[in-house]
Structure 1
Amino acid sequence: MKLPCELVEEILYRVPPLSLLRCKTVCKQWNTLLNHLSLVRPQLLIWTGPKIYSVGVNLKDDPKIDIRELPVDNPYLKNNNYPIPYNFLPCDGLLFCVPRWGNINRVVVWSPWLRQTRLIVPQENCFTFGGIGYDSGKPEKGYKVFGYRFLDRKLNNGKFQVYRRLAIYKFETNEWKYIDAMNEDETSQTGIGISFDKNVSLNGNLYWIAYNVKTGEYLIRYFDFSKETIKLFCVLPWKDDSSDIPILSAYRRERFTVLKQFSETNKIEIWVTENKISGDGANVVWMEFMTVSIPFDKDFCPSYFIDNNTYGKSLVMCCKDEDQNACIYVVKGNASTKIPIGFDVYEVCQRFYVPSLIPVP
C-alpha cells in the first residue's frame, strides 16, 4: 500500500532528526523529501566560549527546554584545540560562520548534523562578510557567498568618492567575482548598514534592517543573489520612535517577522508580513502578531521565533532577564514562562535556526 506524500511527511516529521539520516537511502523520493523538509521546530544555537549548545523548546502545556552540547571535531572551527567564537547566519540548515575576533580572515560553512564543513578564504584584506545565499531562479541551488569592502576613488574635481566593492564567491566554481557598486546610496543615506549578526537569509536572498537618517525611517534592504546587487525591499510601517532597532527574523520560512522592543518599558511588539515574501516588497503588508510585556536586559540583543499552531500564538525569545541571567521566555496567549538556561551567554552568538540534512556544497 502506497501512502500519500502528505502522510509520509507527517510520519517523518515525528522521527528523531539524527535517525532520519538512515531514511535517506530508502528511495529517491525520501531522499529528496528529507533534503527539503522542515524537519523540526527551530533550535536555539548558543556559541559560548569553548562550547556550543543546541537548545530545543517544547511548546506543550508545561514548556521545557532540552540542552545538548554539539561536538566540534573539525579543525576549521578551532584554534589551539578550542572552538573559536563565531557569528553565524542560518541558511537552509547550513550555518555561515564568521570569527568574532582576532585576525582570522575566513569563513566556515558548517552542517552541525552532518558534521560537514567547508573553509572559504577571501582574496582581499579588510573584507567584511555579508552572508550566504543562492540563485532562486535556477532549479538547482548554486550557493554563493556575499561580502564587501569600502574603497576611495579620486574624481576629476579632486574630491574622493567612497564606494562599495562587492565580492561574490561561487561554490560550484570556487572562484571570486568583484563588482564596484558606484551608485550605491546606502552609505550616505543610512546610519545602519549591513549588520551580520542581525541579517536573515530567506528564499536565497540576504536581508537586513537599515535606518535612513534623513527620513527617520527603518528599511529592509537585501542582496539579490540572482542579480548580484543590493536593493531596497520595503520601508517598515513606523518611523524612529521610543523603540530600539527592530530585529528581523523569518516566519515559517516564507514570511518576515519584526520584533520591536521599547527602551523605557518592557513592551514588545511582534509584526509579521501578511503574505509570502516574493518580488521586491513594493506591496508588502505588515500586521501586528502580538504584544507582550517581558522584563529583560535591553543591552542584550535577543533572538526569537514565533509560531501559530495548535498551541495558539507563541513567542520564544532568548535574552537576559533584569538580573543579567540568561533565559528563554515562552509566551502563549496571556501566559509567560521564564526558563533559565543555566550558563552565561555574555558576548556570544545565539540564533534560532532550523536544522536540515542538506550537505555542505
Structure 2
Amino acid sequence: MSKSARPRPPRWRRSPFLGVPEELVVEILVRLSATCLIHLKRVCRSWRTLISSPEFARYQLERSIAYSDAQIAYSGQLRRLRRIGFLPLHSLLDNPSSSAEVVCVEAERHYDIVGSCNGLLCLLVRDSRSTSVLLWNPCTGFTSEWLQTGGFIITCGFGYDHVNHKYKFFAAVKMPGSHEIVSKIFTFGVNHYWKTIENPSLLFNSLQCIIMIDLIGKSMKGTVNWLVPLANEEDVIVYIDLGRETYGELCLPQRDPDDNLGIFPVIGVLRNCLSVGFDHKKTHWALWLLNENQCWTKLAIIPYHPVFRFARLRTLYISDDDVLLLIGRNDKLYLIYLNDGRIVLPMIDSSSDEDVTPMSKGIGTRTLAVYYPSLVMV
C-alpha cells in the first residue's frame, strides 16, 4: 500500500481536546486499535466523520502493519462448527511459554478463509453444487454482497489490485453438468462485476484437472501465486497479475541435485515478499525470498530437526527480530529463532473452540490467514 497523506480532521465546534492541534488529535487516535476506534466514533460527530474517512482508515492500517499488530485468523475444520478464531501474534512471540488465548466469533455459516488483505477476510462457503464468496471486516462488521460463482471452485485466490485500487477474487470454476473449467476474476465494489479470462495452460492439464500443490493461491503485491510441479522439468510458480489480469511465470531458486527432490517446495509470503522453502541436501531446510528485483535471496538455512524431518514446512509469519512462525510436522505451529536456532512449540489456549482439537496439538484442516485489524471497507 502506498503511503497516504495524513488526514486532517474536520473542524468541530466542541472538541473533546479543546486547544489541541488537529494534527495531534489524528496522531493520538491513529495509535489506538481499530476495535477501540470503532467505539470512539460515538464520542462526537467530528470524530465519527474522521474515523469513518477512507484516508484515516489507510493511515491506521499503515501503522498497524508497521507496528506488527498482526493476528492469525482461522476457521475450524468441522463444518457443523460455525465460528472464526483470532490469535494475536504478539502473544505467541513475546511469551510462547504462556498460553496465548484464542478469541472466537460465532458465524452464521461455516466458512473457509481464502485470504486476508488490508483487514478484510475473504470467506468461502461450499455446498454440493456451487460456492459463494464474501468479504468481511471483523472490526467494523462490514460485509460485502454475496458473490455467486455459478459453479464449484477448483482453485481460487484473493488480493488487492494496487493499480486500480480494487479488491479482486480469482476463481477457476467447474461449470455444472460439464467438464468445462472457466477462469474468472471478480472485482468487488459498488459496480462489482465478473470477467472471464483465458485459462493458463500450466494450471490445467489436458484432462482439465488442477495440478497445483496449493489450491488456494498466495496473495502478494497485486498478484496471486501457485506452485506448479512439472514432470521431468523444473517446478515453476504461476501467477496472475490482478491489475493487468494476465498470467506470468517465475522460476524457483536453483536446487542442488543432492536435495530430496521428492519433497515439493512450499511457497508463502513473508515481509510482503514471496517465499519458498525446500529440502536442502537432505540435512537442512532452505528458505528464500523474492526481492524487488525479482531475484531470489537466501533468508535462512534451518538444520533438520526430528519435528521437521521430511515435512513440508509452511511459513506463516516472520517478526522484525527474525522469529519465524510456521506449520511443521503433524500440522503443529512452531517458532524458529533464526538468530540462535532455537525451536519452540508455543502454548495456545483454544478452549473457546469447543469440540475441536486444541491448536497446541495441531491445526488440523483449519484454514489460516495473517490478519491486520483495520477500518477499511470496500
* TM-score bracket, shorter-length normalisation: 0.7 to 0.9
Distance 1:332 1:358, change over 3 A: same
RMSD, matched Cα: 3.8
Equivalent residue in structure 2 for 1:328, among 331, 334, 354: 334
Aligned to 1:19: 36
Q: Deviations for 1:196-252, whole angstroms, at most 9, x for unmatched residues?
A: 34x21112221121122231x222211111221221133333278415222222222
- Partner secondary structure for residue 102 of structure 2: strand
Deviations 1:265-307 (A, max 9, x none): 7x4332223x337xxx4xx232233424443376786442223
Taking structure 2 as the reference length, the TM-score comes to 0.69
What does 1:44-193 correspond to in 2, within 5 Å? Answer: 44-48=72-76, 49=78, 50=81, 51-58=83-90, 59-60=93-94, 64=98, 66-73=100-107, 75=108, 78=109, 84-99=110-125, 102-138=128-164, 141-149=165-173, 165-172=182-189, 173-181=191-199, 184-188=201-205, 192-193=211-212
Going from structure 1 to structure 2, the CA distance change for 1:336 and 1:71 (only over 3 Å counts) comes to same
Measure, in 1, the Cα distance between the counterparts of 2:113 and 2:324.
Answer: 23
SS in 2 for 1:54: strand
Query: Normalized against structure 1, the TM-score is what?
Result: 0.72
Amino acid at match of 1:304: L
Distance in 2 of aligned mates of 1:350 and 1:301: 15
CA distance in 2, matches of 1:239, 1:263: 7
Distance 1:336 1:317 in 2: 11
Superposed displacement of residue 262, structure 1: 7.1
Instruction: Give secondary structure in 2 for the equivalent of 1:212.
Output: coil
Q: Secondary structure at the residue paired with 2:116?
A: strand
> Do the aligned partners of residues 263 and 149 (structure 1) sit closer, same or farther apart at CA in structure 2, a change above 3 Å counting?
farther
Partner of 2:372: 355
| Counterparts of residues 175-324 of structure 1 (less than 5 Å) | 175-181=193-199, 184-188=201-205, 192-193=211-212, 195-197=214-216, 199-215=217-233, 217-238=234-255, 241-242=259-260, 244-253=263-272, 255-261=273-279, 267-273=284-290, 275-276=291-292, 281=294, 284-296=295-307, 302-307=314-319, 309=320, 312-320=321-329, 324=330
| Paired residues, number | 321
What amino acid maps onto 1:42 in structure 2?
A
The structure-2 alpha-carbon separation of the partners of 1:91 and 1:57, relative to structure 1 and needing over 3 Å to count, comes to closer
Mapped to 2, the partners of 1:291 and 1:299 lie a distance apart of 13
Q: Give unpaired runs (5+ residues) of structure 1.
A: 79-83, 152-161
Deviation digits for residues 152-208 of structure 1 (CA, Å, limit 9, x no counterpart) = xxxxxxxxxx98532122223232222343x634434998337334x2111222112
Instruction: Give the CA deviation at 1:116.
Output: 2.6
Report the counterpart of residue 154 of structure 1 in structure 2.
none
Residues in 2 aligned to 1:125 and 1:17: alpha-carbon distance in whole angstroms: 36
SS of 1:70's equivalent in the other structure is strand
Q: Is the 8 A contact 1:218 1:236 kept in 2?
A: no
Q: Percent identity?
A: 15
Alpha carbons of structure 1 residues 213 and 87: separation in structure 2 relative to 1, 3 Å: farther
SS in 2 for 1:114: coil
Partners of 2:335 and 2:343 within 8 A in 1: yes
Higher share of residues assigned helix:
2
- The verdict on how the C-alpha distance between 1:54 and 1:148 changes in structure 2, with shifts beyond 3 A counting, is same
- 1:19 partner SS: helix
Specify the code of the residue in structure 2 equivalent to 1:230: Y
Over 3 Å counting, the alpha-carbon distance change for 1:347 and 1:272 in structure 2 is same
Which stretches in structure 2 are left out of the alignment for 5+ residues? 1-19, 42-46, 350-357
Other-structure match for 1:33: 59
Note closer, same or farther for the CA distance 1:62–1:135 as it changes in structure 2 (3 Å cut).
Answer: closer
What per-residue deviation string (whole Å, max 9, x for no partner) do you get for residues 301-325 of structure 1? 6442223x3xx322122445xxx58
